[in-house]
Amino acid sequence: MSEEDSELERLKAKRLAEMQQNISTRKEIETSPTNLQSKVTKNPRDILVGRLGFRGLEVLQNAESQFP
């Protein structure tokens, strides 16, 4: 039973670290001066990537590698 608990705690810690990384990345993007000046039209993929989290970007890259 404790093996399952330690596995669960490890997974929770990994997910928490990913969430913290996502938050810090979004804060950097929002506060960067280039973001304020980039009101120029972007292509749809760039807009999508900007809205995705870490896992979403990973899934998108896997999908793009499978479907040219």
pLDDT band at 55 (very low <50, low <70, confident <90, very high): confident
pTM: 0.44
Number of helices and strands in the chain (H, E): 4, 0
Tell me how far CA of residue 38 lies from CA of 25, 34, 42, 57, 66, in angstroms: 17, 6, 8, 21, 31
Query: pLDDT tens for residues 2-54?
Result: 888 899 999 999 999 999 999 998 888 777 766 555 566 788 888 888 888 77
